[in-house]
């Protein structure tokens, strides 16, 4: 068996041969003539001259060997729907959706904006766009009208695909009024809107513009729509980075390079095999949903489980902290992908739920989206007794850049570390001011990538090459390198540890401290379930650290003496781990922390509230009461 060290080295030293081999994992209608064009750094073109299609590789090519195998398993605990589509049935639905989009005027190169909840029709729409060679732009469902309008203006879609409503924890979120207002606010007007009616909320149908999917589906159910063969370098989709302010930043991705990157990652990183089941708990509005709910598993010939609901909600909308494990058992999930936040939520549930179901099919749980703290990793590892594999990547990279590749060679994970550099990625740590490369163990620097970036990486920012270069490639003095804008260290064995954003640094009396380091220390206290640390403006020290903690024992919230005792213990712990400078000025106890529906902590919003500023667009917040709780604590001081 090839060692991973040799595998990685070959991707660095013989990239053309290496990626030519990986390219055999997908179908090409026309072979490529040049593997990598890096003539105009930092821009990279992969597999020039080749023609392929994402939908063909995800659906059509499996019809010969596994037409009746499960392809898309759709489960909604919000509506009680559980439905499995075989590859043949998925093929039929995608062709029907493609024909419907064609009837609305969509052609190769047109943009289609998808503003959908987690429903099967959203998957049909994405795959149908790929089939036609149209560029899809998926916007997270429930985004505020203003944010959606800015994305409509940037993407200029010919058609928008949406639905009457989404649902979260049994609470209906009407999408149609938000969409109508966004179209009213936007300068660009779509020619048509295609709507899925779930029967959750009334819709105002705009005559001449709005079309119901149910009507078009009947008309086109037996349509035959061939795949459009695209140049490898043609755009597959754009996706807006979360947390963008001002003008949206559309990450633009190619077709051939992305297909190869996903096929290779499913084999080498996720150890996925045709005929098995993959379960990612993310949302199609985020890049994980693109890469590892829709395209990656299907390209690998796996069934993909698409889930709408909470991790603690059963099919009857009753509380059920074991729903994910029930699905793992029922569908024999072999690889599962989630986020540390979701595991922390499950940590509050009865631990017996991890033993209730037969999880013997599960080979690994992959976690990403934010740094994985050691206590959480240890808890879920002991509960599931399978490898817990952290992985670090970004919307921009499209697939993991730090993890372990057990599909190449079984490699141990380290709690707290996402892992080692993946093949194709030239990862470095640089000094933030001098640009000097840091080569000694445990030196803290900015995590950067040297070009050429591998297949699947972003091509550029949609319609803005200059912004792409200036934002990502010119932030380190004197170096043309891609900045992740994350701090990191690398240990003596080459494992990286991510310490938080370079722009989430706290400057306390001239000393720079990463919020991630303080969070790691606090989360190690036995009485802490979850923590967020932010830097708050201070007239004396410039900034001070403020910690917001969810205690494991909720009685602390009602017992001032217990709260004071726990605060003192936390302060002492941080003193011991990081020194007095890192000690938070206050530790405040809350019942829940503000997060987006995808589980990302809203640290910027917490900081804004602490400083008396507008927290900005909070339409993706999971629980608005969480921020209100912080407001009341801060104003009471």
Give mean pLDDT, residues 323-350: 92
CA separation for the pair 43, 28 (Å, rounded) = 23
Instruction: Check residue 350 and give its pLDDT.
Output: 83
Q: Where in the chain is the domain with CATH 3.40.50.12780?
A: 4-424
Average pLDDT over residues 602-608: 87
Residue 357 has pLDDT above 90, yes or no: yes
Q: What is the pLDDT of residue 243?
A: 39
Instruction: Identify the helix (H) or strand (E) that includes residue 98.
Output: helix 87-103
Check residues 599 and 629 and name the one with the higher pLDDT.
629
Q: How many angstroms separate the Cα of 597 from the Cα of each of 68, 282, 601?
A: 34, 10, 10
Torsion sign across C-alpha atoms 264, 269, 272, 277: negative
The closest of 476, 368, 499 to 422, measured between CA atoms, is 368
pLDDT at position 90 over 50: yes
Instruction: Please identify which residue in the block is written with the tokens 């993407």.
Output: 155
pLDDT of 70 over the 90 cut: yes
Closest to 587 measured CA to CA, from 623, 556, 618, 622: 556
Q: Write down the pLDDT at residue 404.
A: 98
What separation in angstroms does the CA of 291 have from each of 263, 266, 282?
10, 10, 10
Question: What does CATH list as the number for 4-424?
Answer: 3.40.50.12780
Distance CA 514, CA 577 (A): 13
Q: What is the DSSP string of 589-607?
A: E-S---BBTTS-B-HHHHH
As a whole number of angstroms, the distance between CA 64 and CA 226 comes to: 16
Q: What is the pLDDT of residue 602?
A: 87
Report, as an integer, the average pLDDT of 244-266: 88
Give the residue among 219, 183, 252, 197 at the shortest CA–CA distance from 103: 219
Distance CA 511, CA 420 (A): 29
Q: What is the pLDDT of residue 503?
A: 66
Q: Residues 418-444: what's their mean pLDDT?
A: 95
Percent of the chain past pLDDT 70, that is, above it, reads 97
- Band the pLDDT of 45: cuts 50, 70, 90: very high
Beta bridge partners of 398: none
Higher pLDDT, 339 or 8: 8
Mean pLDDT value across residues 548-571? 93
**Residue 481 confidence (pLDDT) above 80:** yes
- Run of H or E residues at 21: helix 15-22
- The pLDDT value recorded for residue 208 is 96
HSE-up of residue 558 (Cα within 13 Å, Cβ side): 3
Question: Can you give the pLDDT at residue 245?
Answer: 41
pLDDT above 50 for 55: yes
CB within 8 Å of 219: residues ≥ 6 apart: 100, 103
Is the pLDDT at 244 greater than 60? The verdict is no
* pLDDT for the residue numbered 478: 86
Lowest mean pLDDT among 185-199, 236-250, 544-558: 236-250
What average pLDDT score do residues 294-323 get?
Answer: 94
Give the mean model confidence (pLDDT) for residues 92-107.
98
pTM, to two decimals: 0.86
Whether residue 269 has pLDDT greater than 80:
yes
Euclidean distance between CA atoms 330 and 535, whole angstroms: 45
CB atoms within 10 A of CB 251: 22
Segment 278-297 mean pLDDT:
96
Q: What is the pLDDT of residue 603?
A: 86
Multiple choice CATH, 509-636, 3.20.20.70, 3.10.20.740, 3.30.360.10, 3.30.300.30: 3.30.300.30
pLDDT of residue 64: 97
What are the structure tokens assigned to 566, written together? 């726990």
- Residue pointed to by tokens 């075989």: 86
Instruction: Please say if the pLDDT value at position 392 is more than 80.
Output: yes
Within the chain, all domains assigned CATH 3.30.300.30 are found at 509-636
Under 8 Å between Cβ of 457 and 44: yes
Element holding 22 (H helix, E strand): helix 15-22
Question: In angstroms, how far apart are the furthest CA atoms of the chain?
Answer: 72
Q: What is the pLDDT of residue 92?
A: 98
SS3 assignment, position 260:
helix
How confident is the model at residue 436, as a pLDDT?
A: 94
């Amino acid at each position: 068996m090839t060692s991973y060290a040799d595998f990685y080295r070959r991707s660095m030293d013989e990239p053309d041969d290496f990626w030519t081999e990986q390219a055999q994992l997908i179908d090409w209608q026309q072979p490529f003539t040049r593997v990598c064009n890096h003539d105009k750094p930092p821009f990279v073109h992969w597999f020039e001259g080749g023609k392929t299609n994402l939908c063909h590789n995800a659906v059509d090519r499996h019809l010969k060997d596994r037409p009746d195998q499960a392809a898309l398993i759709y489960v909604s605990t919000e509506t009680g729907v559980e439905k499995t589509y075989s590859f043949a049935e998925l093929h039929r639905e995608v062709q029907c959706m493609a024909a419907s989009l064609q009837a609305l005027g969509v052609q190769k190169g047109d943009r289609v904006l998808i503003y959908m909840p987690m429903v099967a029709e959203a998957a049909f729409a994405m795959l149908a766009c790929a089939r036609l060679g149209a560029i899809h732009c998926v916007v997270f469902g429930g985004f505020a009208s203003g944010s959606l309008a800015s994305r409509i203006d940037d993407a200029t879609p010919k058609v928008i695909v949406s639905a009457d409503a989404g649902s979260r924890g049994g609470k209906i979120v009407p999408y149609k009024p938000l969409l109508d207002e966004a179209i009213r606010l936007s300068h660009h007007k779509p020619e048509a809107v295609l709507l899925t009616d779930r029967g959750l909320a009334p819709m105002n149908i705009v005559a001449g513009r709005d079309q119901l999917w149910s009507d078009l589906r009947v008309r086109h159910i037996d349509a035959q729509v061939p795949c459009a063969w695209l140049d490898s370098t043609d755009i597959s989709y754009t996706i807006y980075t979360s947390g963008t302010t001002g003008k949206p930043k559309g990450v633009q991705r190619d077709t051939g390079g992305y297909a190869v990157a996903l096929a290779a990652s499913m084999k080498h990183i996720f150890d996925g095999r045709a005929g098995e089941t993959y379960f990612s708990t993310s949302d199609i509005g985020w890049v994980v949903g693109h890469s590892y709910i829709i395209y990656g598993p299907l390209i690998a010939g796996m069934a993909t489980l698409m889930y709408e609901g909470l991790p603690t909600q059963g099919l009857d909308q009753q509380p059920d902290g074991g729903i994910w494990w029930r699905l793992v058992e029922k569908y024999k999930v072999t690889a599962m992908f989630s986020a540390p936040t979701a595991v922390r939520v499950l940590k509050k549930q009865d631990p017996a739920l991890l033993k209730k179901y037969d999880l013997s099919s599960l080979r690994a749980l992959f976690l990403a989206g934010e740094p994985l703290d050691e206590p959480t990793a240890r808890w879920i590892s002991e509960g599931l007794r399978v490898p817990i594999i952290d992985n670090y990547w970004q919307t921009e990279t499209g697939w993991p850049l730090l993890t372990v590749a057990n599909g190449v060679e079984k490699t141990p994970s380290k709690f707290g570390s996402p892992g080692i550099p993946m093949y194709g990625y030239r990862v470095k740590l640089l000094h933030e001011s001098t640009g000097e490369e840091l080569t000694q163990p445990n030196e803290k620097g900015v995590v950067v990538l040297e070009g050429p970036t591998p297949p699947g990486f972003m091509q550029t920012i949609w319609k803005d090459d200059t912004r792409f270069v200036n934002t990502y490639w010119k932030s380190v003095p004197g170096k043309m390198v891609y900045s992740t804008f994350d701090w990191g260290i690398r240990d003596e064995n080459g494992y990286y540890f991510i310490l938080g954003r370079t722009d989430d640094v706290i400057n306390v009396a001239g000393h720079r401290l990463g919020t991630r380091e303080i969070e790691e220390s606090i989360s190690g206290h036995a009485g802490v379930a979850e923590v967020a640390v932010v830097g708050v403006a201070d007239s004396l020290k410039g900034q001070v650290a403020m910690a917001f903690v969810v205690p494991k024992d909720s009685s602390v919230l009602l017992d001032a003496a217990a709260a004071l005792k726990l605060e003192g213990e936390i302060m002492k712990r941080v003193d011991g781990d990081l020194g007095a400078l890192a000690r938070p000025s206050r530790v405040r106890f809350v019942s829940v922390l503000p997060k987006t529906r995808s589980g990302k902590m809203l640290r910027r919003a917490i900081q804004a509230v602490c400083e008396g500023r507008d927290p900005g667009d909070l339409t993706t917040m999971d629980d608005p009461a969480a921020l209100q709780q912080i407001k009341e604590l801060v104003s009471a001081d």
